[in-house]
Amino acid sequence: MIDVRSITISEDGLSLISAGMSGSEPNDQGSYDGEVRVWDLQSGELTSTIPGLFDEMSVVTIGDDRQTLVVSDRHHNIQLWNLETEEPLQALPDIGYFTELLILSQDGQTLITANPDDQTVQVWTVESQQVVQSFNAGHEAIVIEGSDRPVEVPGRRSRIALSNDGKTLATTGLDKIIKLWNLETAELILTFPTDHEYPIHSLTFSPDGETLASGSSDNTVKLWNREGELLHTLTGHESTVFSLQYSPNGKILATSDLDSTVNVWNPTTGELIQTLAEEPVREGETAASLSFSPNGEILAGVNYDGTIKVWQVTR
C-alpha cells in the first residue's frame, strides 16, 4: 500500500503530482523515504519521480500555487521545495513544535502554522523566515481525521482555512465554533457557533473568499457567508466529511467522506449535481485529498490506500 498524502493537478492541466511514501525498503534510520511522483493525466503513466524530499514521519502538502511542496518534519523544521526545479526554497528551522496544521498562501509568500498543543497560530513571511503575527485561536483541542467520531489529539491543516487573498484565516476545533481572523492585524473579526452536531473535520473558503464551507462528522456540509449566516446545509453523505475542494471559479464544490463517496455540488443553490464514487474497494478507503484542474473540468481524488482516481466533472 502506497501512502499518498497530497495531490494537485499541474497549472497546464496535463500532469498530476502526488506526494507520498515510496513503498521501498526502510532507510538506514529504519524509516521510509517519501517521494514526489508526476503522472500523465491522460494516460495515467508515471513520467518522473523526485525522491528523498521527506520521510514517513513528515507532514507534506502541495501549495495552492501547484508547484511548491511544504514539508514539516519531526525535528520541528519546515522546508519548502520547488517541484519544477526540484530545488529547495526557504526553510524555517526549529519553529519549536511539530505541526500538521500548515497553509501556504496562494502567492507563496506567507506560511501559516498552528501549534496543536496551545492553539497558537503563527504567520510567517517565507522570504525572511520571520513571524509577523502570532495569536491564540482559543479553541478546544483541534480534531484529527481517522475515525467517524472525533478524538482529542492534534489536528491537520483542514481545521484552518486561508482565503485566497491571504487576509483572512478561519479556525475551528472540538467546540464546533468557527472564528475568522484578520491576518494583517491578528484581530478576531467574527466568532459564530455552528449547528453541526459533531465537530468539524474540514474547512475551506470559496475562491472569492465570500463563502466558507465546513464538513463534519455529523455527515453534513454547511455553507456560511462572511457574517456567519448559514446559506445551505448539504446532505448526501453517510459518514464523516473529510475533504472539501472548490473549483477554481467557485461554481462547483466537491466533498468526500469516510466511505469514499465523492459528491459534486452547486454551492450557490445547494443542489447535488453528481456523485462520482460510491463503492470503496474495502472499508475505510477514504478519499483523503481532492484537487481540481485549473479549468475545473477534471477532479482528482486519492484514497488512503494510495489509489488515485480521476473524473470528468459535470458542469
Distances (CA, A) of 295 to 83, 107, 243, 264, 269: 21, 19, 20, 15, 21
* pLDDT number for residue 308: 87
* pLDDT number for residue 137: 87
* pLDDT number for residue 284: 47
- For residues 176 and 194, what is the distance between their CA atoms, to the nearest angstrom? 6
* pLDDT number for residue 128: 92
Q: Is residue 201 part of a domain?
A: no
* pLDDT number for residue 177: 93
**Torsion angle (degrees, nearest 10) of CA 226, 229, 232, 236:** 90
| Other residues' Cβ atoms within 10 Å of the Cβ of residue 84 | 12
* pLDDT number for residue 304: 65
Nearest to 99 by CA among 68, 137, 66, 49: 137
Q: Is residue 49 part of a domain?
A: yes
- For residues 184 and 182, what is the distance between their CA atoms, to the nearest angstrom? 6
How many domains, the chain? 1
Q: Is residue 225 part of a domain?
A: no
The full 3-state SS of 234-254, as one line of letters, equals EECCCCCEEEEEECCCCCCEE
* pLDDT number for residue 149: 32
Q: Is residue 91 part of a domain?
A: yes
What predicted TM-score, i.e. pTM, was given to this entire model?
0.87
* pLDDT number for residue 76: 93
Which of the residues in the chain have pLDDT under 70?
Answer: 1-2, 22-32, 140-158, 278-288, 304-305
Question: Which range of residues forms the domain containing residue 75?
Answer: 1-95
Q: Is residue 165 part of a domain?
A: no
Beta strands 110-114 and 120-125, pairing class = antiparallel
Q: Is residue 37 part of a domain?
A: yes
Q: Is residue 11 part of a domain?
A: yes
pLDDT tens-digit map of 36-61: 999 999 999 999 999 888 887 788 88
Evaluate whether 205 touches 162 at the Cβ level (below 8 Å): yes
